[in-house]
Structure 1
Amino acid sequence: MAALNKKTVDDINVKGKGVLCRCDFNVPLKDGRITDESRLTAALPTIEKLLKDGGRVILCSHLGKPKGEPKPELSLAPVAKRLSELLHKEIVFARDENVVGENARKAVAAMKDGDIVLLENTRYRPEETKNGDAFSKELAELADVFVDDAFGTAHRAHCSNVGVTKFVKGPHVVGYLMEKEIRFLGQAVENPVRPFVAILGGAKISDKLNVISNLLEKCDTLIIGGGMAFTFIKAQGHEIGKSLVDDSKLDYCREMIEKAKKIGCRLLLPLDAVVAPSFPDPIDDPKLSVSTVDINAIPADQLGLDIGPKTRELYAEAVKSAKTAVWNGPMGVFENPILAEGTKAVAKALAETEATTIIGGGDSAAAVNILGYGKKMTHISTGGGASLEFLEGKELPGVAAADDR
């Protein structure tokens, strides 16, 4: 796989050079405070390597969706402050609403080897998501070398991760985090140690359409849970009450069931479900009234919100023998303790296996961390959408833009 053959920060000499490093600082904020620092700590090894080697490090990232205009609540100022503490080093924060403005240019011009500057939120510029040349050029003019360490945006072709590579004259390489993502996900998809078990959950089947088809060809067992399972259950002719369903995908689900049989991939679907009369409101409602029913006996006035105990046992058993396991999407509404048992059972089974365990980003990453199993996993991806597209077998623009070895 070409994606595994990319130059990294270990292949370049950055002493005395301006290094534009695209990171993923898209952190959750509450009242201006960062509530989860995992994306900052994940970026530290690459930043520290570039500083140690005498680079003049210019960091950039997006935060949230400001939709092309400056929004003070989405400024990277809190990131600059916290990153400075984590690195034990002063960071010059260039507060330009147009990102590459007078402050940024002055700060970069004044840099010495081992200095660090952070630019403002790249999505303050409307051109960023359109991959426009003007903004790509402005970013490129600040640096001699480009390092992409933002796997979370690797599936998007934006100015700050793809466009800029057209104009930076020196090398374009990936950072340690990006290298790790490519290695784990690439290995799982292209050359897994078998048995290879893939687990897909979450709400939307449309997000995972091509992933299901691709994974059936790659893995030995494919487990389906979460809201997306009910479209499969309905496709088999069962009543699903008020459960989430995508009627436009029923034929597709039947095709996938047939495909699994034909190619000899074991496809596991829920045997039972935890149901309630309505979706919990608030989501963590501790008084939610639930019952457990067989999958072919969901009452008309109920909806499925988690996998039941028989399914948990079946799925945990299937995971036990795995040598490689990839998981993307929770088994139920895990934010509610009453509906977290299915997700917990899968997380626990993965934590106890000897397998290489890879957790797709987004909700699955949040779930394993909230449930306390994060440290037991081999690799937790930092990119939800990017890891899904990687598992689909798609080429990611942010990865493709880096120089080949």
Structure 2
Amino acid sequence: MTFLTLDDVETASKRVLLRIDVNSPVSESGKIMDTSRFEQHLETIRELQNSKLVIMSHQGRPGDDDFTTLEQHAEILSEMLGKEVEYIDDIFGPAARERIKKLEDGEILMLENVRFYSEEILNRPPERQALTPMVQKLSPLFDLFVNDAFSTAHRSQPSMVGFSVTLPSVAGRLMEREVKALSRVVKNPERPVTFVLGGRKYEDSIEVIESALSNRIADRILTCGMVGNVFLAVKHGIDEKQLGFEIKRAVKDKVRQILRVFEDRIEIPVDVAYPLNGSRHEMPVETLPIGLPIWDIGSKTIEKYRKVIRESGTVVANGPAGRFEDPDFGKGTLEILEAIAESRCFSVLGGGHLIAAASKLGLLDKFSYVSTSGGALLTFVSGKPLPAVIALEKAAERFGRR
């Protein structure tokens, strides 16, 4: 790691801007349902309690049901820390700036959801983000920027990269820990390296597959979930609408290209499970399509994947194998998690749904490392640079130790 950390700076009595990621699932009534991301940031926040601390985060995306204020987030942090985290419904307007100026040592202020600011959702180079009104108005008020939001590190957004241009910047403890642990996958990993990729975000996973194989980071890819269904449909020429979903033409072309180059290193389900008359049924892929949705990988695929995992030196898993929340279709996810937990490999688990499944099964402590991230995790371990990490590295060169 070439960026600076909290070990390299003095924070007492300094005005510190801390970027965290406490974006969490929200119930229909608007209540936060899971506080695990809050817990991950407590170490950094406690180390900064002797400063004048201002916290910045986001919740949801514009237009989504979970796009809410951070008032509840401040209350949760207050309870966890045992001291008040004051919430203000402003980001960089006059009210926020005046309150920041008046902060005393030991006080903590949480700004409003940073994505309420329209430019926050734009991905642009750090130097351009440093010129946004938010960064320009807030930067003069602070002595130090601390980025602890690893799970958003793949976004080149103003709050993630802009302040590293204008302020001395260091990584928080969570950012430091994630980069250190995941670097083990990228730099001299124990081979063979196997990626198990499932879940619904198949477009992101397809990019990861191409990058990880091209960069010779992954030796084998095991596909499942929607990722497996897409590869299955493309490889066997199945009309995906018969499987209950639709694939963009550009995605199909990308998958065909990946299969032409790397087919021998990508495992695709050989059988699948589907719902019929309220119960689980399985069939080999040769008999598809059947006009019914695929909700899990089948038993033969599970056994095949378990064997690959047993022979692996490193395993990175992200996303469930199927509808794990349904007892009849959680078999694939359960057995893959058990196979990784039972192996002697260095194992990394990521993605909220897969972590939730492992937690429910009591297997979390069986993994070498559990990441707080999904997208940033996959981007990093596939060999692609993370904009926020690069910004911290450049800040270290620009400002040095303080």
| TM more than 0.5 | yes
Q: Find the aligned partners of 2:74 and 2:380 in 1 and give their Cα distance.
A: 30
Aligned counterpart in structure 2 of residue 57 of structure 1, from 53, 57, 61: 53
> SS where residue 260 of structure 1 aligns?
helix
Cα distance, 1:208 vs structure 2: 2.0
**2:279–2:328: 8 Å Cα contact kept in structure 1?**
no
Q: Find the aligned partners of 2:238 and 2:354 in 1 and give their Cα distance.
A: 28
Q: Could you list the per-position Cα deviations for residues 301-360 of structure 1 after superposition, in whole angstroms to 9, with x for gaps in the alignment?
A: 233221111111111221123221101222112222211110111111112222221123
* Inter-CA distance 240–318: structure 2 relative to 1 (3 Å threshold): farther
> SS where residue 385 of structure 2 aligns?
coil
* Inter-CA distance 404–228: structure 2 relative to 1 (3 Å threshold): same
Specify the alignment match of 2:400 in structure 1. Answer: none
CA RMSD of aligned residues (A): 2.6
Matched, 1:275 2:274: yes
Matched, 1:104 2:104: no
Q: Find the aligned partners of 1:404 and 1:253 in 2 and give their Cα distance.
A: 39
- Give 5+ residue unaligned stretches, structure 1: 278-286
Specify the alignment match of 1:399 in structure 2. Answer: 389
Q: Find the aligned partners of 2:255 and 2:14 in 1 and give their Cα distance.
A: 53
**1:129–1:157: 8 Å Cα contact kept in structure 2?**
no
> SS where residue 177 of structure 1 aligns?
helix
Q: Find the aligned partners of 2:23 and 2:202 in 1 and give their Cα distance.
A: 25
**1:230–1:245: 8 Å Cα contact kept in structure 2?**
no
> SS where residue 290 of structure 1 aligns?
strand
Matched, 1:198 2:195: yes
Q: Find the aligned partners of 1:235 and 1:109 in 2 and give their Cα distance.
A: 58
Specify the alignment match of 2:328 in structure 1. Answer: 338
Following superposition of structure 1 onto structure 2, how do residues 302-317 of structure 1 map, counting pairs within 5 Å? 302-317=292-307
Q: Find the aligned partners of 2:248 and 2:92 in 1 and give their Cα distance.
A: 47
**1:139–1:160: 8 Å Cα contact kept in structure 2?**
no
Cα distance, 1:66 vs structure 2: 3.9
Q: Find the aligned partners of 1:177 and 1:303 in 2 and give their Cα distance.
A: 39
Matched, 1:176 2:173: yes
What amino acid maps onto 2:87 in structure 1? F
> SS where residue 194 of structure 2 aligns?
strand
Specify the alignment match of 1:127 in structure 2. Answer: 119
Matched, 1:388 2:386: no
Matched, 1:77 2:76: no
What amino acid maps onto 1:105 in structure 2? R
Q: Could you list the per-position Cα deviations for residues 210-262 of structure 1 after superposition, in whole angstroms to 9, with x for gaps in the alignment?
A: 2112222222322111122233334443657722463734554444344336x
What amino acid maps onto 1:328 in structure 2? N
Matched, 1:43 2:41: yes
Comparing 361-370 and 349-358, the one that deviates more: 361-370
> SS where residue 34 of structure 1 aligns?
coil
> SS where residue 57 of structure 1 aligns?
strand
Q: Could you list the per-position Cα deviations for residues 271-293 of structure 1 after superposition, in whole angstroms to 9, with x for gaps in the alignment?
A: 2110236xxxxxxxxx7333111
* Inter-CA distance 237–109: structure 2 relative to 1 (3 Å threshold): closer
TM superposition score normalised by structure 2: 0.86
What amino acid maps onto 1:76 in structure 2? L
- Give 5+ residue unaligned stretches, structure 2: 123-128, 398-402
Percent identity over the alignment is 35
What amino acid maps onto 1:107 in structure 2? R
What amino acid maps onto 1:113 in structure 2? D
**1:274–1:308: 8 Å Cα contact kept in structure 2?**
yes
Q: Find the aligned partners of 2:136 and 2:158 in 1 and give their Cα distance.
A: 9
> SS where residue 118 of structure 2 aligns?
coil
> SS where residue 186 of structure 2 aligns?
helix
Cα distance, 1:367 vs structure 2: 3.1
Q: Could you list the per-position Cα deviations for residues 348-394 of structure 1 after superposition, in whole angstroms to 9, with x for gaps in the alignment?
A: 11122222211232433333334432332222222222222223322
**1:205–1:246: 8 Å Cα contact kept in structure 2?**
no
* Inter-CA distance 250–105: structure 2 relative to 1 (3 Å threshold): closer
Cα distance, 1:38 vs structure 2: 0.6
* Inter-CA distance 109–72: structure 2 relative to 1 (3 Å threshold): farther
Following superposition of structure 1 onto structure 2, how do residues 126-275 of structure 1 map, counting pairs within 5 Å? 126-130=118-122, 131=129, 133-168=132-167, 171-216=168-213, 217-237=216-236, 239=238, 242-243=242-243, 244=245, 246=247, 248=249, 249-250=251-252, 252-260=254-262, 266-275=265-274
Which of structure 1's runs of 4+ aligned residues deviate more than 6 A? none
Q: Find the aligned partners of 2:10 and 2:137 in 1 and give their Cα distance.
A: 23
Q: Which has the higher helix share?
A: 2
> SS where residue 323 of structure 2 aligns?
coil
What amino acid maps onto 1:101 in structure 2? G
What amino acid maps onto 2:99 in structure 1? A
Comparing 326-335 and 27-36, the one that deviates more: 27-36
**1:92–1:107: 8 Å Cα contact kept in structure 2?**
no
**1:66–1:74: 8 Å Cα contact kept in structure 2?**
no
Aligned residues: 382
What amino acid maps onto 1:366 in structure 2? A
